[in-house]
Amino acid sequence: MKVLRLHGPGDLQLHEEPEPEAGPTEVLLRVTAVGLCGSDRHWFQEGSIGDSELVRPLVLGHEFAATIETGPRAGERVAVDPADACGRCAQCLAGLDHLCANGRFAGHGVTDGALRPLLAWPGHLAYPIPDWLPDPDAALLEPLGVALHALDLGSVDASGTAAVFGCGPIGLLLVQLLRLTGAEVFAADPLAHRLAAAEVLGASAEPREVDVSFEVAGTDEAVGAALEATRPGGRVVLVGIPNGDRTSFSASTARRKGLTLLLSRRMTRHDLPRAIALVATGDISLAGLVTERHGLAQWDEAFAKLTERRGLKVVLEPNA
């Protein structure tokens, strides 16, 4: 089968490799759609993300939908949690499995991800999805889970106000979730097409002071804007991953306002099932967020659009 591996910054190569076999607690997945996200962009451009560096050719891809190939669940369409926590450490036992330092994460470190036709992964991390949900849209369920975790950290209530800085897919999903809570939502993004998408979803582009700000761009400019927009005593949730593993902001602004800064990492074990339920009931729509679809052989065009932030979500289909 054809497998796409990252060898270094900007260096992706297709390889012919044998098909994997599922272990005793795993299912063999036929990958139908893989969303490319900001962390994939970091790996591709920098050969690293945060303090994790490329140590061997890596298969990227952690936002994915698949069909189970073998066993009693064969034929079941699923969304997949890419985080396989250890289940034994203090963080896991406290329900903070998204902070587990002993687990593995698809498409990160030494754990290969989903940019390949077949993947073996723990069966308990594969969740059934509605029959009517298209595969490319189903790849957005993991980003929706990430947005849900950020929303929980922000603790926004129905009478509150919130702002989203950065209107890529996770930012746009946050806009929808915030609207669902009943909060008044404001949005900002330097790219006109992304800001327009946020306005279609019910956000206002008019600036005003808010109770909670969500920074989803990974830039110092977005962090600074979030701090400025948040009222004294308010909360700022940092979701974006910065270049070079550094975030800088005006300490006096945050200190003078007595702001609470919260850092959001991935999603908890409960968030993917919650995301599926919200889509299944129609409370959240994933339609229209996928703006690019490519086969694995067209990876160069897909990653070019990812790095240039053209459109919204870029999806690769390894079995197309």
pLDDT reported for residue 206: 80
- Is there a contact between 296 and 115 (Cβ–Cβ < 8 Å)? yes
Is the pTM value of this prediction over 0.85?
A: yes
Helix (H/G/I), strand (E/B), else coil: 22: coil
Q: Is the pLDDT of residue 200 over 90?
A: yes
Spatial separation of the C-alpha atoms in residues 102 and 88, rounded to whole Å: 9
Tell me: pLDDT of 303 over 80: yes
pLDDT exceeds cutoff 80 at 79: yes
Rounded to an integer, what distance in angstroms lies between the CA atom of residue 214 and that of residue 155?
Answer: 11
Q: How many CA atoms lie within 13 A of 98 on its CB side?
A: 15
CA distances from 98 to 21, 58, 67, 138, 234 (A): 27, 21, 25, 21, 25
Average pLDDT, integer, range 267-274: 93
* Backbone φ, ψ for residue 29 (5° rounding): -110, 130
pLDDT digits (tens, 9 = 90+) for 18-61: 999 999 999 999 999 999 998 899 888 888 888 888 889 999 99
pLDDT over 90 at 101, yes or no = no
Architecture label for domain 2-140+286-317: Alpha-Beta Complex (3.90)
Task: Give the per-residue pLDDT at 208.
Answer: 85
pLDDT of residue 244: 80
Q: What is the pLDDT of residue 62?
A: 96
* pLDDT tens digits, one per residue of 120-154: 999 999 999 999 999 999 999 999 999 999 999 99
Q: Which pair of structure tokens corresponds to residue 136?
A: 């490319």
Q: Give the mean model confidence (pLDDT) for residues 60-64.
A: 96
- Residue 250: band (very low, low, confident or very high) from pLDDT cuts 50, 70, 90: confident
Which burial class, exposed, middle or buried, applies to 159 when counting CB atoms under 10 A from its CB (0-12, 13-18, 19+)? exposed
How high is the pLDDT of residue 310? 84
Q: How confident is the model at residue 117 (pLDDT cuts 50, 70, 90)?
A: very high
Q: The tokens of 142 are what?
A: 């993991």
Helix axes 38-46 and 299-307, enclosed angle (nearest 10)? 100
**Residue 264 clears pLDDT 80, i.e. is over it:** yes
Torsion of Cα atoms, 196 then 197 then 203 then 206, to 10°: -20
Mean pLDDT along residues 225-238: 96
Mean pLDDT for the stretch of residues 286-314: 92
Residue 299 banded pLDDT, cuts 50, 70, 90? very high
Average pLDDT, the chain: 93
Distances (CA, A) of 298 to 3, 64, 113, 153: 13, 18, 18, 38
Largest Cα–Cα distance in the chain?
59
pLDDT value of residue 258: 95
Q: What is the pLDDT of residue 239?
A: 95
Instruction: Flag whether pLDDT at 207 surpasses 80.
Output: no
> Which pLDDT value is given to residue 73?
95
- % pLDDT > 90, the chain: 80
pLDDT of residue 52: 84
**pLDDT at 50 (0 to 100):** 81
Write down the pLDDT at residue 51: 82
Domain borders along the chain are 2-140+286-317, 144-263
Cα distance between the two ends of the chain: 13
Q: How is 108-123 classified by DSSP, letter by letter?
A: BTTB--SSSSEEEEEG
pLDDT at 28: 97
What span, in angstroms and rounded, lies between the C-alpha atoms of 27 and 21? 9
Give the span between the Cα atoms of 254 and 261, in whole angstroms.
9
Instruction: For CA atoms 66, 64, 273, 176, give the dihedral sign.
Output: negative
Q: What's the confidence (pLDDT) of residue 246?
A: 85
> Are 139 and 285 contacting, i.e. CB atoms less than 8 angstroms apart?
no
Q: Report the alpha-carbon distance of residue 293 to residue 95 in Å, rounded.
A: 36
Strands (E), 154-309: 161-165, 184-188, 210-215, 230-238, 260-263, 290-295
Take residue 89 and report the two structure tokens written for it.
Answer: 């450490």
pLDDT higher than 90, residue 203: yes
Q: Does domain 144-263 have CATH number 3.40.50.720?
A: yes
Percent of the chain topping pLDDT 70: 100
- Cα atoms found within 13 Å of the Cα of residue 224, Cβ hemisphere only: 6
pLDDT at 256: 93
